[in-house]
Structure 1
Amino acid sequence: MMKDVSAMSPAQIRAMIRKNEWVKPTAGMAKGFTQANLAILKKELAFDFLLFCQRNPRPCPVLDVTEPGAPIPQLVAPGADLRTDIPKYRIYRQGELVEEVTDIKKYWEEDMVAFLLGCSFTFEYPLLDNGIPVRHIEENCNVPMYKTNIPCVKAGCFEGPVVVSMRPIPEKDVVRAVQVTSRFPAVHGAPIQIGNPAKIGIKDIAKPDFGDAVTIKPGEVPVFWACGVTPQAAAMQVKPELMITHAPGHMFITDIRDAELGVL
C-alpha cells in the first residue's frame, strides 16, 4: 500500500528520495513543513546571486545558504544532503539545460555554494485548510509556471524575468487566498497578479513555461504568485558556466515548520 506522503516526516521523505523511491513533484508532501527551491553556483558568483536574491525577495526569499563546499543546509535541515535529497535536479551549462539527474554527487565541487529559497508549496496546506482547492494536487501533476514581462532588479551579472506559479481559485475565495498566503512572506507571500495573465505577459495560460497545465473551471480566477524558478530563468539569460537547480516542482523538504515562517 502506498504510504501517506502528507503524513511522513521530512527525514523519512528525504530518505525515500535519496533511494530514488520518489522521483516526482513534491506538492502535498510532509504536511506542515516548508519546501524550498535550490540554486547552486560556484563561490565566485555567490555574492552576486545573494545580492540578486536580496534585491528580489518576492521570487527569491532566502531560507539558507551553505558554506562553500558543504552540501549540508545547517539552518533548515542539518541531517540532509543537498546532493541527493531532491527528487530531480537540473544541470545548466552556459545557460543551456543539458541534463536532469536524480543526484549531483559527480557534479559537486569544493567551491560550490547552495542557496535554498522559499517555495509556495509551503502555503498550500494552509489554503486547503481554509477550504480553498489546489488544482495541481487534485490532478496529481506539477504546478504551472510562467515567465512574465516583469523584470527582476539586476544584481552583479544576474538579471532576468520574474517567474510565477498559477493556481485557479474560485472567485468567492480569492480574497481569502490573498489573506492566507500573505501570512507567508518567506515563501513568496501574497499574489502578484490576479485574473489577468496578459497583463504580466502570459500569452497562453494553457502553455506554461515550466510544469503542467491544469484545469481552470467556470467561476475560477487564475491567481499568480512569484516563484522560486526565477533563478532558472536568470540562468538561461545570464549563462553562467555552471548552475545546478532543482527540477521545477521537485523541491527540497526542510525540517522547518510552516508556522515558523508565518506571520500573524
Structure 2
Amino acid sequence: MHPSVLRARIRNGTHTTHTSGVSQDYVQANLVVLPKEYAFDFLLFTMRNPKSCPIIEVLEDGRFESNYAKGSDIRTDIPLYHVYENGRLTDKKQRIDDCWKKDFVSFLIGCSFTFESQLIKGGIPLRHIEENKNVAMYKTSIPTEKAGVFEGPTVVSMRPVPDSLVQKAADITSLFPEMHGSPLHIGDPREIGIGDVTKPDFGDFVGIKEGETPMFWACGVTPQAAALQAGIPYMITHSPGHMFVTDWKNEEYLKSN
C-alpha cells in the first residue's frame, strides 16, 4: 500500500491499528507535539539522546504538513494519539485537529519499523509482523541525558532473532542510524533493568523460543517516558506502534547515508 493511500485510510477511520508491517518500503516516524515554549528543551533532549530520539524533521509552530509526505496532515494521519497533561496520560484520540493550537511545534523522530523491511529482505523473521501484533517495548534502567525539564528512562523495542542471524540483524540495522541504528542491547533483558520480559510496558510479547536471542533497539517512545517524568503541562504523541508513514522510500534513505 502506498503511504498516501494508507494516510487517507487512517484519516477517514478505515485503518485504526498499528503500522508495523504496513507500507514496509517507506520510512515511518514517531511524533511529539509540544507548545513552543518547550520546543528548545526538547530539541536539546533529542540532540543529547540521538540513539533514542533521532530527529527526521521539525515542523515550525502551527505547521502540520510534513515535507516528506505531500498533502499529509500530522493531526489526522496517525491511527492513534496520546495526550499527556501534567505528566499523566489523559486521552487517546484518533485525530488531534480539534485540539490543535497555533503554537504547537512538531517533531518527527526515526522509527525502527523503518528497518523491518530490510530485516525481512535479509531473511530475518519478525514474529510480531507474522502474527500481526505490535512490537514489544520496555522501559529500561538506562537513563537518558537530561535537557531542561526532559529526562527519564530509555525505552527499547525487542525482537527475538535466531541465534545464527543476530550479527546479520545488527549489521542491517546499523545502516539506519536515524531509525535507531544498531541494537542498544543483545541478550539477557535483566542487564538493562527489564525484570519480566513477558510483560512489555507497551505493545505485545510474542515469545522467545529456544535457539533465539532477544535483541533490543532504542525506541522513539522514550520521549513519552520523559514527559511522564517531567510532568509538563501539555504534550501530544503517537500511540506506541501507531506511526506516521512518510513517502520517503527506504532505498532513498539508504542512498542518502
Instruction: Report if TM-score (shorter chain) is over 0.5.
Output: yes
Say which SS state the counterpart of residue 119 (structure 2) adopts. helix
Equivalence for 2:228: 236
Identical amino acids, percent of aligned pairs = 55
Secondary structure of 2:44's counterpart equals helix
Which of 23, 27, 30 aligns to 1:34? It is 27
> Are 1:156 and 2:163 an aligned pair?
no
Counterpart code for 2:45: F
Extract unaligned runs of 5+ from structure 2: none
2-structure distance, mates of 1:159, 1:122: 26
Quick check: 1:179–1:190 contact (8 Å CA) kept in 2? yes
Deviation for aligned residue 1:187 = 0.1
- 2:204 alignment counterpart: 212
Structure-1 separation of matches of 2:116 and 2:45:
26
Q: Quote the Cα distance in structure 2 between the aligned partners of 1:39 and 1:48.
A: 13
Q: With structure 2 as the length reference, what TM-score do the two structures score?
A: 0.98
Counterpart amino acid of residue 69 in structure 1: G
Matches within 5 A, 1:28-107: 28-74=21-67, 76-107=68-99
Q: Retained in 2: the 8 A contact 1:185–1:262? A: no
2:190 is aligned, of 198, 208, 211, to: 198
Provide the C-alpha distance between the structure 2 equivalents of 1:235 and 1:157, rounded to a whole number of angstroms. 9
- What does residue 136 of structure 2 align with? 144
Contact 2:186–2:214 (CA<8 Å) still a contact in 1? yes
Question: What RMSD in Å do the two structures reach over aligned CA positions?
Answer: 1.0
Question: 1:137-188 deviations in whole A, cap 9, x for unaligned?
Answer: 0111110000011111111111111100000000000000000000000100
User: Who is 1:4 aligned against?
Assistant: none
Are 2:241 and 1:225 aligned?
A: no
Residue 186 of structure 1 contacts residue 261 of structure 1 at CA under 8 Å; is this kept in 2? no
Which SS does the other structure have where 2:23 is aligned? Answer: coil
Partner Cα separation in structure 2 for residue 62 and residue 229 of structure 1: 13
Code of the residue aligned with 1:237 in structure 2: it is Q
Once residues 13 and 199 of structure 1 are traced to their aligned partners in structure 2, the CA distance between those partners, rounded to angstroms, is 39
The one-letter amino acid paired with 2:22 is M
1:23 matched to which residue of 2? Answer: 16
- Tell me which stretches of 4 or more aligned residues in structure 1 moved more than 6 Å: none
Unaligned 5+ segments in structure 1 are 1-7
Question: Residue 245 of structure 2: which of 249, 253, 256 is its match?
Answer: 253
Q: Structure 1 length as normaliser, TM-score?
A: 0.95
**Which string of whole-angstrom CA distances, capped at 9 and with x for unpartnered residues, describes residues 9-34 of structure 1?**
11010000000100100011112100
